[in-house]
Amino acid sequence: MRSAPWTEEENDLVVADYFAMLADDLAGRDYSKTGSRRALVPRLRGRSEASVEFKRRNVSAVLKGLGEDWIPGYRPAFNFQAALADAVARWLAANPAWLERMPAGRRAEAGGMAEAASLWVGPPPTLSNRPPPEELGQMLAVAARFDAAGRDERNRALGRAGERLALAHERAALAGAGRSDLAEAVRWVAQEEGDGAGYDIASFQPDGRPRLIEVKTTNGWERTPFHISRNELAVAEERREEWRLFRLWNFSREPRAFELAPPLERHVSLMPTVFQASFS
């Protein structure tokens, strides 16, 4: 016999319980999945502990789609109901400070050479390593519905912390290549001049050639969508040999990165999301 659909109240209870554990996990505090589950089950409508465990995996999948952290011990389980995504969105709306948290802030703000030199920079996502179509489709649908890209773009603290870490990484890489002179000349353009240049950091190749870096940061997985402006695309096209998009992901836990070189259409699908209206 199939169990009854989860109610809005039940979804809200599971989501709140999950976020309480996630906060402890991110802060490095001890917590008990078993104890939390056993305290939660009596508040639900005859749900088994096994069903609660699977529901937690569904919450992980929703959070992955949103480009958010999830509890590593709960591997994302897909084909979740839209009602669960709504419950996660309700929790986030009721707890806006969550999106402004900076668990990795100490590392990013320190910006030390040793820390930045250890930043993992790997290959970008490709067709060969993408998730199964049904999983990817649900992730992208959730990201689009709740505008994960716009959320990251509006999170100025996250963006600045990512730029700061990328700046330290560039300086460390040049110093490690024996070009301390160039490392000292790397500039944080977005901080000094604002966001209108079409890139955030003016750096160099070890041979002295210019390297223009636009940084995009997310706490989510490597395929979390991001926003890119018309100006940034124009500069990428005009200065193809110099411009690079530096994508920082998994930022709140252990930041990782990859680079994309123009033309960006080789790597991502570009979709216009904002139109300018003018009076004729």
Handedness of CA 216, 70, 5, 91 (dihedral sign): negative
Average pLDDT over residues 117-127: 84
pLDDT at 206 over 90: yes
Query: What's the start-to-end Cα distance of the chain, in Å?
Result: 63
pLDDT attached to residue 106: 42
| Angle at CA of residue 131, ends 147 and 140, nearest 5° | 15
Long-range contacts formed by 131-139: CB under 8 A, 24+ apart: 131/223, 134/78, 134/79, 135/78, 136/223, 138/61, 138/65, 138/78, 138/79, 138/80, 139/61, 139/64, 139/65, 139/78, 139/223
Percent of the chain predicted with pLDDT > 90: 66
Place of tokens 């990484």: 169
Average pLDDT over residues 178-198: 96
- Please tell me which residue, 174 or 107, carries the higher pLDDT value: 174
Place of tokens 């402004």: 100
The model's pLDDT over 216-225, given as tens digits with 9 standing for 90+, comes to: 999 999 999 9
pLDDT at 117 over 80: no
pLDDT attached to residue 114: 55
Average pLDDT over residues 125-148: 85
Q: What is the DSSP string of 141-204?
A: HHHHHTTHHHHHHH-HHHHHHHHHHHHHHHHHHHHHTT-HHHHHH-EEHHHHH-STTS-SEEEE
Average pLDDT, the chain: 89
pLDDT at 108 over 60: no
**Among 95, 87, 63, 77, which residue's Cα sits nearest to residue 253?**
63
pLDDT attached to residue 140: 85
pLDDT attached to residue 208: 97
pLDDT band at 144 (very low <50, low <70, confident <90, very high): confident
Return all residues near 252 (Cβ < 8 A) that are at least 6 apart.
26, 69, 101, 102, 103, 104, 219
pLDDT band at 242 (very low <50, low <70, confident <90, very high): very high
pLDDT at 25 over 50: yes
pLDDT band at 103 (very low <50, low <70, confident <90, very high): low
pLDDT at 104 over 60: no
Whether 76 and 60 have beta carbons less than 8 Å apart is answered as yes
The model's pLDDT over 28-81, given as tens digits with 9 standing for 90+, comes to: 999 999 999 999 999 998 899 999 999 999 999 999 999 899 999 999 998 899
Longest alpha-carbon distance in the chain: 71
pLDDT attached to residue 280: 65
Q: What does the block give as tokens for 19?
A: 């976020």
* Mean pLDDT lowest among 165-174, 206-215, 263-272: 263-272
